[in-house]
Structure 1
Amino acid sequence: MSLGKVLIALSVVFLGLYWLMDSLNIISPGIMSLFGECLPYLVILLGALLILSPIIKRKKPGFFWGLFFLIYGGLLLADKHGMLVFHWQDIWKLWPYIIIYFGLDMLFGKNLFVSLSGNFDHGKKKKKDKSHVEFIWNGDEAKEDSGQKDSYMFVNESSYKHENWMVKPMHERVRIADYNFDFTKAFIPEETIPITLSGWVGDIKITVPDDLAYRVDLRAKVGDAKIGKEKHSGILRNVSYQTGNYDEAVRKIDFAFDFQVIDLNIDQV
């Protein structure tokens, strides 16, 4: 096991033990105060070691976790000196760091592929059936061909709003997603069509006709979801929704969403 993994594992165990003892009130105030004084420096030291230790061994630095702990420790230190308010339990507020880090990695990393594609109907007037933009990034070592297994779709912006676009089963996993579906303009076959989307951050807008049967299974660490007249906000662990005509309908859609952060809006018109 690498030094970075050992340090992260030990840090997680240490913090877990501390939080457990703190919640059970078995830590004396003196130890609590001492730990609070030392915590910012320990976290900053951990971040620095995760970056510098692999460099000394001529290996790839652990920039992701290294920078994360440097930022976390820096904010704790700023709170200690009264520059801002940031407590150790506010670590969850750093989730935008994921987006910022991979955005910078896309800019300065290697092997970034950009793909623009669209399907067209043949005839006198060509209409785009699907506009699709993909940013595919491979942050590891380059492969000999572009069909490498380690590549993945990083950012996906897709729009399905054109007349008579064909609804087909879909299963896509992306890091950052922006989807816009308009099923009032779609051709929907008489069958159950699964649409599964997952990733880190999802901004999904869906418009469905009032008579379309569908069900939704949603999981997210945090987000907002408006499904018909139902509204959900905060931690969305297991949100399920099903239209009243779902069981007897022949034509229906099964939506499944699994994101860390999501903004979902499903409107019936």
Structure 2
Amino acid sequence: MSFGKILIALIIIVLGIYWMLDSLNIISPEMMSTFDDGLPYLAILFGVLLLIVPLIHRKRPNIFFGLFFLIYGGLLLADQYGYLIFKWQDFWKLWPYLIIYFGLSMLFQRDYSIKFKKGYSNDKQRKKHIIFDWNTKGEGEKDTKRAFVNDAAYQKENWMAKPMNERVRIGSYTFDFTKAFIPDETIPIRLSGWVGDIKITMPDDLEFRVEVRAKVGDVKIDDAEQSGVLRNYSWQTAHYDQAVRKIDFTFDFQVIDLSIDQV
């Protein structure tokens, strides 16, 4: 097992023990204060070790987690000195780091290709797609093609609502079902990936169900709203079970910003 994996595993174990003792009220307030004061320096130390120690053993440094802990510790330290407000539980707010990291990866690694797709489907469903793909070559591995960024909009008049199952690293989707042709059936729409920004407009006479699996983010469905640390979140309209024509949404992202409005 690599040093980076061992270090990350130890970090998870230590944090788990600390939070368990805290939830049982075993840790004194003085000990909690000491931990909070030392956490920025521990995070920065972890980041430095993940970057430096592999180099000593002539191995590739864990750049992703190394930079993450450096940024996380730096923000906690800035909070202690009053430059900004950032608490240890605000780690989920660093999700744009995923975009920055992969953007830098595209700049400094080889074998990347970018494709832009924009046009019409055979059934005259007008839509926009902008897709970034990249090819990577690993030692002893075949070329791997992955969908990185997908920017898609379904909001033209009379576009055809069809079953969908897409997985992306970063996805931005806009759906306007008030302008769609929707057949009398259950239409499953499944979107998954790392970061999802999804905006949906639904007619008030169309039944639908939503299932969200995400680590963190914001979910807003009409007046119902939930944000922060998310687990499994489900919501459905009053007559979904009896309806023939309905939409079944499933979203599975690490970070999600979902907004559904009924008009």
Q: Is the pair's TM-score, using the shorter chain for normalization, greater than 0.5?
A: yes
Is the counterpart of residue 159 in structure 1 residue 153 in structure 2? yes
Structure 1 residues without counterparts, runs of 5 or longer: none
1:217 partner amino acid: E
**CA shift at 1:256, angstroms?**
0.9
**1:60 corresponding residue in structure 2:** 60
Q: Deviation digits for residues 192-215 of structure 1, max 9, x if unmatched? A: 211001222222122233332322
Distance 1:190 1:69 in 2: 50
Q: CA RMSD in A?
A: 3.2
Partner of 2:207: 213
Question: What is the aligned partner in structure 1 of residue 17 from structure 2?
Answer: 17
CA 1:215–1:34: 2 relative to 1, 3 Å = closer
> Are 1:73 and 2:73 counterparts?
yes
Contact 1:220 1:262 in 2 (8 A): yes
Q: d(CA) in 2 for partners of 1:152 and 1:83?
A: 39
Decide which structure has the larger Cα Rg and report it.
1
Query: Structure 2 regions of 5+ residues with no counterpart?
Result: none
Deviations 1:195-241 (A, max 9, x none): 001222222122233332322222333333333x4321214433333
Offset of residue 164 of structure 1: 3.0
- Quick check: 79-88 or 102-111, which moved more? 79-88
Deviation at 1:89, TM superposition (A): 4.3
Secondary structure in 1 matching 2:114? strand
Moved more, 255-264 or 23-32: 23-32
Whether 1:98 aligns to 2:98 is yes
Q: 1: CA distance between counterparts of 2:243 and 2:102?
A: 43
Aligned to 1:259: 253
Taking structure 1 as reference, are residues 25 and 54 closer, same or farther at Cα in structure 2, changes over 3 Å only? same
Identical columns (%): 62
> How far apart are the structure 2 equivalents of 1:215 and 1:29?
44
Residues 5 and 99 (structure 1 numbering): CA distance in 2 closer, same or farther, change over 3 Å? same
* Paired residues for 1:29-48 under 5 Å: 35=35, 38-48=38-48
Structure 1 residue aligned with 2:225: 232
Q: Are positions 1:129 and 2:122 aligned together?
A: no
